[in-house]
Amino acid sequence: MDSILVLAHTEADGTLGKPALEALSAAVALGGELTLGLVGCTVAQASLPALPSVRVLAVTGEPFANPRYATDAAAAEALCRASGASLILAPGTSRWARVLPGVAYRLGGRADTHATGLALHDGAPAITRWFYRQRIEAVLTRAERPWIVLPDAGCFAPWTGATGAAHIESVPVDPPSTRTTWERIEAPAADRQTIRPDAKLLFVAGAGWTKKQADGAVHAADAAALIHNFLERSQASLGGSKSLVDLSGEGEAVLPFMTHMNQIGQTGATPRHPKGLSTCCHGEEPHVVGWRFIAQRRAVNLDPNCGWARGKADVLYIADAFAVLRELNRLLA
C-alpha cells in the first residue's frame, strides 16, 4: 500500500483552503499511512485537522509566502523527500499546478493533474481524468513512484472534523535564488467581478446577445445591462462561449465585463457549479464541454435545434432571452 503525502499550501492566514481539505478527504478515504506537508508563510496550528496518526511537516517563512516556481518547487521537493511518500495528493490549485509536474521530475516520479476521481483499482490507486477537452474519460494507474496527483477542485467533499494538530515538524529549506519577484494580485473591479467559483449558478452568455435582434438592430448595451443586473441579483458566475469572448478581440459590440477569463469550453474553463443557465448560445460539442461538470442545466434559445441545448440541457426554453432576463431581473429585484 502507498504511503500518502497530502501536500498543501496555506492561505494568507496560515489555514488550509477548501481545495486542500478536499485533497485530504480523498487521501483519508484511500487509507494508508498519511503525512500532511504544508508550505506557506505561516501555519495556523490550531486550524489544522486533528488527526492523531498523521505526521505534519511544514516549510514556512517569508520566502514561501507567495507563489513562485523556484521557492515552491524547492519546498515541495523537500517535503516529498522528507515524507518518503509514494503517493502525493495535492489540490489542483494554480499554485501547485505550476510547480508539481516539475517537482515530480526532480523526484524521478510522475505527475497527473485534473484528477476527477480517485479509488483503488485491483488494490492500487487509480485516478479518473479526462482527455481531449473533457470529451473522453479514462481511469488510469501508474507503476512509477512517487506519483503526484492533483485532484480538481470540487471533486471531493472537503474534510470536516476536529481541528488542532498535535505537532508540526519543520523541514528546513534554503530558499533558492530566483530571478522572479512576486509583485501583486490583480482582480477586476468589484462591479466587474463576474467569476464566482462558489456560485450555485453558472450563467452562460452566447454570441446571440450581440447579434441583430428581431427589430434588425443590435442591442449590446441592453444585453450588457440585463446580464449585469442578473448577475448582481442572482450572484451567479458568468461564463461566455468562445465566439462571444472572441468578439471582444475583434472590436465588435460586446459586453464590457466579458473577458477571455469568462470563456468556458474550447480554450476556456470547465467550471463546476450545481446549476447552469445558458442563453443565446449556438454551438457544438467543443463549446458544450464547457458545461460538462454542471449538474443541472437549462437553456434559453430562440432556435429549437440549438446543438448546445438539445440533448445537453435538461430544459430548453424556446424564447427571447432579452424578455426572459428582463422578467428574471424583475422577480429577483
Instruction: List the interface residues with another protein, window 5-64 (CB under 8 A).
Output: none
Q: Which is nearer to another protein, 33 or 110 (CB)?
A: 110
Decide: is 78 part of the binding site for another protein (CB under 8 A).
no
Cα–Cα distance, 223 to 208 (Å, whole number): 10
Q: What letter represents residue 131's amino acid?
A: F
Query: Cα–Cα distance between 134 and 288 in angstroms, integer?
Result: 10
Closest approach, Cβ 275 to another protein, in A, equals 7
Distance in Å, CB of 295 to another protein, minimum:
11
Q: Using the 8-state DSSP alphabet, how is residue 49 labeled?
A: B
Interaction between residue 315 and another protein (CB under 8 A)? yes
Q: Which is nearer to another protein, 52 or 215 (CB)?
A: 215
Q: Which of 84, 161, 176, 256 is the binder for another protein (CB under 8 A)? A: 176
Of 135, 169, 232, 295, the residue at the interface with another protein (CB under 8 A) is: 135
Inter-residue contact 307 to 288 (CB < 8 Å)? yes
Site for another protein contains 234 (CB under 8 A): yes
Q: What is the b/e burial string over 282-306, where b = at least 16 CB atoms within 10 angstroms of the residue's CB? A: bbeeebbbbbbbbeebbbbbeeeeb
CB of 10 to another protein, least distance (A): 15
Among 101, 117, 158, 175, binds another protein (CB under 8 A): 101
Binding status of residue 4 toward another protein by CB under 8 A: no
By CB under 8 A, what part of segment 239-298 binds another protein? 243, 246-247, 249-250, 260-263, 266-268, 275, 277, 282, 284-286, 292, 296-298
Q: Is 324 in the site for another protein (CB under 8 A)?
A: yes
In whole angstroms, the minimum distance from the beta carbon of 172 to another protein comes to 19
90 to 93, 149, 153: CA distances (angstroms): 8, 6, 10
Binding of residue 314 to another protein (CB under 8 A)? yes
Contacts for 132 with CB less than 8 Å, ≥ 6 apart:
none
Options 131, 157, 164, 170; binder of another protein; rule CB under 8 A? 131
Min CB(255)–another protein separation in Å? 14
* Nearest distance, CB of residue 205 and another protein, angstroms: 15
32-40, 57-65, 128-136, 155-163 -> range binding another protein (CB under 8 A): 128-136
**205-222 as b/e: b if 16+ CB within 10 A:** bbbbbbbebeeeeebbee
Show the cell assigned to 99: 510547480
Q: Which is nearer to another protein, 54 or 254 (CB)?
A: 254
- Residue 174 binding another protein, by CB under 8 A: no
The only residue of 132, 164, 166, 191 in contact with another protein, by rule CB under 8 A: 132
Question: On the CB side of 107, how many CA atoms lie within 13 Å of its CA?
Answer: 30
CA–CA dist 292, 313 (Å, integer): 11
Q: At what angle do helices 69-83 and 94-106 cross, to 10 degrees?
A: 60
- Burial of residue 165, with CB atoms counted within 10 A of its CB: 0-12 exposed, 13-18 middle, 19 or more buried: buried
Size of the site for another protein (CB under 8 A): 111
Q: Which is nearer to another protein, 161 or 176 (CB)?
A: 176
